[in-house]
Amino acid sequence: MSDVVLHGGLILLILSLAVMTVVTRDTFAAITAFVVYGMLLGLAWVALGSIDVALTEAALGSGITGALLLRAAVCLRDKEAAAEVRRPGRAAHRVSGLVCAAIAAGLAAMVLMLPDPAPSLAPAVMESLPATQVKNPVTGVLLAFRAWDTFLETVVLVLALVAVWGMTPDALWGGRPGELRQHAHDGPLVFLARVLPPVGVMLGIYLFWIGADEPGGKFQGGTILAAMWMLTLLAGLTDAPPVSRRWLRAAMVAGPATFLLAGLSGVVFASGLFAYPPGFAKPVILLIEAASTVSIGVTLCLLAIGPPSRPANR
């Protein structure tokens, strides 16, 4: 009974925020609604029993995505009226509405007709999990059973950053991303950027470390590290490094490179590509996770602040 009230209320809130996100005319208001929507979606993931996904959704899907979208909204602030001219006519709105309602209805019907009993890989995962020596089944799936997917995904992050940097004007290549900030008058921001990062960095490392056995892992931990770096950049306490710096590039590829080396070593020391030597699975997984946490933190922050926008020598 309490589930009905709690989950029903949560779903109503999520749906109304989604409507606000999609139809509100003011872009800033829409993005604010989107951030709150993401936070509540995190609660929905808790209700659906996955703390791992809830952490990722709240930190990355809502938090850092929100920061990225707000940065763009500020740049495009004066363009809203101009774009409004391009709004499709009433008839196009109606047709789109009908098509989307039909798609939603079809998907809803499919959800209600899902096979019962539901197919599940949970027993298979729990049966093989002891071999990986980690206790968090999601980490087991990410780092052992579907390691190939997860490896490619860490590569996708780096490729996306390369593509973002590819849009740098020629004159600024090798320069620093973001704008230089000297916000002496934003005292509260500077204060926050001094107090929060020590706790945040500890929390990020904790989430990575606990991820082997409890909800958490490199994505959640790395996201918090990225957020802390963004905070210090925003407050002007640190300056973004020029993208040509070698240490920066090394930090970006440390995770995928460690992952690949560990995967290749499986050919020699274990039964094949991305197989871990029996008895050493946990140290190898922790090594990959540690390197990936750093890479994910660096890459996510750089993705959010965009391509170089000013020369390296200030």
Partner 1 sequence: MNTTEWFGIAAALLIGLGLYGILTQPMLLRKIVSFNVLGSGVFLMFGVIARRGAAAGLTGDPVPHAFVITGIVVAFSASALAVTMALKLHEDTGESAFPEGEDATAPDNPDEDKA
Partner 2 sequence: MSLALDIFTVVMVVAGLFFFYAGSIGMLRFPTVESRLHALTKADNLSVGFIALGVMPQMAEATDALKLLLAWALILFSSAAASQLIAIAARRNRRRDP
Residues in 141-170 that interact with partner 1 by CB under 8 A: 141-142, 145-146, 149-150, 153, 156-157, 160-161, 163-164, 167
Q: Are 34 and 69 in contact (CB under 8 A)?
A: yes
CB of 188 to partner 2, least distance (A): 4
Residue nearer to partner 1 on the CB measure, 107 or 195: 107
* Position 135 contacts partner 1 (CB under 8 A): no
How many CB atoms sit inside 10 A of residue 215's CB?
A: 18
Contact with partner 2 (CB under 8 A) among 185, 247, 279, 313: 185
Q: What character string, x for contact with partner 2 (CB under 8 A) and - otherwise, covers 198-237?
A: -x--------------------------------------
Contact with partner 2 (CB under 8 A) among 18, 28, 36, 186: 186
Q: Which part of the chain contacts partner 1 (CB under 8 A), choosing from 95-103, 183-191, 235-243, 267-275? A: 95-103
214 contact choice in partner 1, partner 2, none (CB below 5 to 8 Å, kind-dependent): none
Exposure string for 234-268, b = 16+ CB within 10 A, e = fewer: bbbeeebebbeeeeeeebbbbbbebbbebbebbee
Provide the sign of the torsion angle of the four alpha carbons 69, 75, 77, 82, taken in this order.
negative
245 contact choice in partner 2, partner 1, none (CB below 5 to 8 Å, kind-dependent): none
Q: Are 175 and 243 in contact (CB under 8 A)?
A: yes
The HSE-up count of residue 228 (CA atoms within 13 Å, CB side) is 21
Of 264, 265, 57, 256, give the one whose Cα is nearest residue 150. 256
Interface with partner 2 in residues 141-180 (CB under 8 A): none
Distance between CA 24 and CA 32 in Å, rounded? 11
Interface with partner 1 in residues 203-262 (CB under 8 A): 217, 219
The alpha carbon of 9 is separated from its chain's Cα centroid by a whole number of angstroms, namely 26
Residue nearer to partner 2 on the CB measure, 95 or 195: 195
Contact with partner 2 (CB under 8 A) among 148, 191, 269, 280: 191
CB of 65 to partner 1, least distance (A): 6
Distance between CA 31 and CA 220 in Å, rounded? 22
* Position 192 contacts partner 2 (CB under 8 A): yes
The alpha carbon of 132 is separated from its chain's Cα centroid by a whole number of angstroms, namely 25
Contact with partner 2 (CB under 8 A) among 130, 187, 278, 283: 187
Q: What character string, x for contact with partner 1 (CB under 8 A) and - otherwise, covers 7-36?
A: xx--x--xx--xx-xxx---x--xx--x--
Instruction: Give me 271's structure tokens.
Output: 């039964």
* Position 93 contacts partner 1 (CB under 8 A): yes
End-to-end CA distance of the chain: 61
Tell me which residues touch partner 2 (CB under 8 A). 185-189, 191-192, 195-196, 199
